Structure 1
Amino acid sequence: MTSPSAQRSAARTWLAMVPMLLGVLIGALAISATTTALPAMRQDLHMTDAAAIWIVDIYPLALAVTLVIAARAGDQFGRRTVMVVGLAGFALFNLIGGMTDSAIVLIAMRALLGASEAAVIASVVSTIGAVFHPGERVLAYGLWTATFGAGSAFGPVAGGILAAGPGWRWTLYGGIPLAIVALILALLLVPNTRTTRPPHWDPLSIVTSIIALGGIVYALQHVATQPLPAIAMGVVGGVSGVVFVRRQLRLHDPFIDVGLFRIRSFSVAYLRIIASTGASAATVYLVSLHLQDARGETALMAGFALLPQAIMIALGGVLAPTLLRWMSSNALTIVALAIQAIGLVWLATDPASLMVPLLLAGFGYGVIGTLTAAALFDATEPEQAGQVGAIQEVGFALGSGLGVAVLGTIAVVSGTMRFAFALGVGAALVGIAAVLDPRFTRSSG
């Protein structure tokens, strides 16, 4: 029988999920509320189309490039400490962003918000990997996915309501009290875990990783409208990426342990995260703009239209652990990817009602997000939790940023068929991810 002290310890561990999940919720709201409020921002601040894409895309991009830095800081200074710093930054930068009348300043604040959320997410994921047993992680990540889905569900609706009512600025102001509450609860409930050995900081790795991600995403966003600068930035980003990877292979304590990608199940799960997350983020972006620009819907109606997808993301995340009773993790992941792809193909036909295809796309992604996140930890060792957590969240953030950049650019250059063609490409990428084979768990290298 479990002793009372062990029961109290287990209860406290699960209570720590409350502020951690609140931090996840804040990030989901920050991404999804902006999607429906974007037309109002664009009109009020007189933005170009390129600047409007950056308002959406700079957040996940900044999140991606700073996640590993945040994870390293958590390993050294304590993950709760870094989480609290991130929540404080989130409150401050939301305040500044809500008060500005400059598109450039707003983009800068969105970048700093992404970096602040990186501190929160890196701490949450690493803490889950460090304090929960393997059997508990699937449920913990199911709650993580469900919370993200809940934020994604109410974010577009809240963005539409606020844009039509008190104004888009309240999509930023609304995050301030949530961040303060999460900060207080984190100080009370979250253990301040860290690694036993202080991590090594390598400035060259940090610089080359930022240049690589920034250059590649910039190139993908601007290749259609500014081909020469985009190609130049893409080359710079690609070269920086090569330098970064080669350096990691030489370092005794790498900034990112790229050797983890030699584990086949790890690399396949990672590719599935990027493909599925990218398609999901691009779906929210494309559907929102399509409904407002092509169908003449209000921001509020666009938010309500996206509600089924986000609700099913949450439901899929919660049900994934239960569904594992009847199917293996890989088989269930393949089925979920197929469901998401079917939903995307259906959406590409632009049906009169988008509800059912959005339900399919959302449920598939909810299941995938939970299973692939757990698969990364299952393929590695417990002492690698900090590295795995950071790499995992880079995948989710990078997938989101690349999905909007790539499929958004495809939509821009596809003329009258842009909505259908962009979603069709997204469905194809998800389908390719479904047929990848993760059977070999570790390489001999």
Structure 2
Amino acid sequence: MHQQTDVLTRLNPRRWFAMIPMLLGVFLGAVTISSATTALPSMITELSLSTVEATWIIDAYPLALAVSLVVAARTGDRFGRRRMMILGFAGFAAFNLVGGFAQSGLALIAARTLLGFAEALVIASVVATIGVHFRARERVFAYGLWTATFGAGSALGPLIGGLLSDGPGWRWTMYAAAPVAAAALVLAAWLVPESRTSTRPSWDFASIALSIVALAGIVYGLQHAALAPVTAAIVGVTGVVALVLFVRRQRRLHDPLIDVNLFANGRFSVAYLQILVTTGTSNATVFLVSLHLQQTRGYSAIEAGITLLPHAALIVIGGVLAPLTLRIFSSGVATALALIAQASGLIWVSVQPENFIAPLVLIGLGMGVVGTLSAAALFDVTTSDQAGQVGAIQEVGFALGAGLGIAVFGAIAAALGINGFSVAFVAAAVTAAVAGVLPVSQRSRRRRAPDAQLTRN
């Protein structure tokens, strides 16, 4: 069956056109997250937002996205990933229009929350579809495009948000996204092949509830660790307890929501750890350098954003170059070298914080390469039937890595005062270097089962 699927994939050149709507979905999600930061001042002024409301306008979208990824993946496994992708695009278009007409902070928060749920359907479906739709180095190239598109969206988002807010108004950051989402919907219906698991997945609502509480608690705790440490700690601990209960329950179920035994595979667990590390150190870099430039050097937000552009640009380039590194190195060696490059950039920032361009190039390049190769590695040691679960695990890893990096290294910088900035980057460099030299188990503890043939409409 695996052979039949590979032959079918090779004979269908339209598979690469399917990346167009899927990459549009990734780009829209990245822009929605990053554009809100520069559009927020206009939102605060026009809607007379309180500090709490302003915080939730930023946090609601990524929080809703993170907590619904597991359920979105399961839904795609059951009802079809293309179908859920189309539903997500429809919701994304509709909720952007609703948010654009919002007349209160509460209405805007609700719209951005619903946008997070809609984007979860898109992202979970995109990642799983890439996982089953492409093989070997083609999969790496597809994930390179994914990484590059996300990096481009993250870089352009603040610029788009600032330009639209200063021009026709912040509402156009939402109005403009609606027709793009509608176009992606049409293209997805036309170009994306349908896929689902070969067996009908069951629903365990206790597992769903525990996954939501766990992810909501952990993500909220990480988001608010600096602003409200006591509340964040309580909520975060609640999330960790729910995660422990979730894992224990999955081990007992015949058809778990997430097969936690995937982490018993050495290659899988190391690749996942490397995702956490590269995402954490990369996001902590953006956070700490931005604060340093604005608080220490008096840069404006736009000036700080321009200074950080090399980081975003090299994430894009790293994603594109990642497949080419496999012509010279194995995936494990290429990932290790990228993490060492990232560690070198982090050390460079700590010892010479006057010039950020060169170190930001290394940090961004490392993120682009590692994010691409590690994401692809997760699918290399699993089956097509596990694609939905693996996709959800991957995306949760990127979300948790970002939150952990900012929370941990940000706390180090804040706690140590004048030396905190440098010490935080040394700690981040050591973390990246250790992740780079971790031994990767070449022997899976679980045999790969034959890949299930795609269900096509």
Distance 1:404 1:79 in 2: 32
Alignment match, 1:93: 95
Residue number among 268, 271, 277 corresponding to 2:270 in the alignment: 268
C-alpha displacement at 1:145, in angstroms? 1.2
State how 1:257-336 maps to structure 2 within 5 Å: 257-336=259-338
Residue number among 189, 214, 229 corresponding to 1:187 in the alignment: 189
Letter aligned with residue 355 of structure 1? I
Alignment match, 2:126: 124
Distance 1:229 1:300 in 2: 32
Letter aligned with residue 206 of structure 1? I
Distance 1:51 1:416 in 2: 32
In 1, are the aligned partners of 2:267 and 2:441 still within 8 Å (CA)? yes
C-alpha displacement at 1:198, in angstroms? 1.7
How many residue pairs get aligned? The number is 441
Alignment match, 1:383: 385
In 1, are the aligned partners of 2:77 and 2:201 still within 8 Å (CA)? yes
Q: Deviations over 1:308-341 (max 9, x none)?
A: 1111111111111111111121111111112122
State how 1:332-343 maps to structure 2 within 5 Å: 332-343=334-345
Note the residue ranges of structure 2 that are not aligned, 5 or more in a row: 1-6, 448-457
Which SS does the other structure have where 1:15 is aligned? Answer: coil
Alignment match, 1:10: 12
C-alpha displacement at 1:413, in angstroms? 5.2
Alignment match, 1:157: 159
Which SS does the other structure have where 1:160 is aligned? Answer: helix
In 1, are the aligned partners of 2:63 and 2:220 still within 8 Å (CA)? no
Change (3 A) 1:438 1:408: same
Mapped pair 1:25 → 2:55: no
Letter aligned with residue 316 of structure 1? G
Note the residue ranges of structure 1 that are not aligned, 5 or more in a row: none
The alignment's TM-score, normalised by the length of structure 2, stands at 0.87
In 2, are the aligned partners of 1:350 and 1:420 still within 8 Å (CA)? no
Alignment match, 1:77: 79
Alignment match, 1:111: 113
Which SS does the other structure have where 1:234 is aligned? Answer: helix
Distance 2:9 2:203 in 1: 39
Letter aligned with residue 359 of structure 2? P
The alignment's TM-score, normalised by the length of structure 1, stands at 0.89
C-alpha displacement at 1:24, in angstroms? 0.9
Alignment match, 2:3: none
Mapped pair 1:206 → 2:208: yes
Which SS does the other structure have where 2:197 is aligned? Answer: coil
**Percent identity between the two aligned chains:** 57
Mapped pair 1:145 → 2:117: no
Alignment match, 1:34: 36
Letter aligned with residue 263 of structure 2? F
In 2, are the aligned partners of 1:320 and 1:371 still within 8 Å (CA)? yes
The 10-residue stretch of structure 1 (32-41 or 306-315) with the greater mean CA deviation from structure 2: 32-41
C-alpha displacement at 1:133, in angstroms? 2.2
Considering only aligned residues, what root-mean-square deviation do their CA atoms show, in Å? 2.8
Alignment match, 1:232: 234
Residue number among 395, 398, 422 corresponding to 2:397 in the alignment: 395
Change (3 A) 1:307 1:385: same
In 2, are the aligned partners of 1:161 and 1:299 still within 8 Å (CA)? no
